[in-house]
Copies of this chain bind each other. A is one copy, B any other.
């Protein structure tokens, strides 16, 4: 159920910036945070859009998220750097990290940033086009050292955080944007199913007794169920391998693991991001040509259901954005109530 009013992205971003300023974020920080939350709404990643503004405002007010300052460069070698985000928002730090990685890619062919202690990162999808717009490929992984909610294969207790994985790829047309979790489902989807009193569409949870289940109520039971790694009951060793890939490349390389993360780290994230400049090893334009051939091959695959053409990652999100840029953003009544709370909290009337 969406509300009738469809405010423009511009108006929502300006309003959110004012709210974030009022909770102590500097102009640069507030602008970047608002921009990348609204970017999530525009792409249809609604659980990672302005729905999370309230969380960010409270984190700023309580000092969990810093509103001022700069990430520290902990250590570097030509084509890779480790940053400590100093509990600044990922929404502010990551665009700067992508920019730095792009510069390294121009110089060395690839550029890699590992960023630890970044507060709310939101949807990785919103950072990808910075690289693809410049004709570069980007890969991102994110983990959360103070969280353990995903089980390795064969276990009924959790050791991984929910770990999103994303790629952005330039083509001759619109970019390919992939942003997915490495578990069978995301905690947010379980909570939505719970609120809507329906079962999950497939067994994505493992109960404390060790049973795979579709029942979201087990997630809030005592003891609670945990999320299964991608692959589930049959192939979960593959998802476990991918979660290990994510956590070795983020927590391991950042030298900031679960034994280092303090309780007050809360949701602070560690991000691996890498940009590749394809012109380092092929002629300008060659990569986009090859990438477009791959996209065409996917689109031309014969659909199982003739009414459902085979989809390329990101195509739906980009269409949603185009529509919302033209018509304004659709907010659900539930999200709008959260935004009304923010408006009162900051004394900044909604657009």
CB within 8 Å of B: which residues of A?
74-82, 107-110, 112, 114, 137, 139, 148, 151-159, 167, 169, 176, 178, 180, 184, 201-202, 206, 210, 230-231, 234-235, 237-238, 240-242, 244-245, 247-249, 251-259, 274, 276-278, 280-283, 286-287, 290-291, 293-294, 297-298, 300-305, 308-311, 313
Contact = CB atoms under 8 A, between A and B. Distances in A.
Given A167-B245, A245-B139, A253-B287, A151 B301 contact: yes
A175 B308 CA distance: 44
A109 B78 contact: yes
Q: Quick one: copies of this chain in the complex?
A: 2
A203 to B, nearest CB: 9
A304 B238 contact: no
B178 A281 contact: no
B75 A152 contact: no
B282 A253 contact: yes
The 3 A-B residue pairs with the shortest CB-CB distance, nearest first, are A80-B109, A155-B301, A77-B280
Contacts of A107: 78
Contacts of A303: 154-156
B259 A293 contact: yes
Contacts of A180: 237-238, 241
A201 B281 contact: no
Contacts of A202: 234-235
A153 B245 contact: no
A301 B248 contact: no
Given A137-B248, A167-B245, A241-B167, A155 B302 contact: yes
Most buried by B among A248, A251, A294: A248
A281 B253 contact: yes
Contacts of A178: 241, 244-245
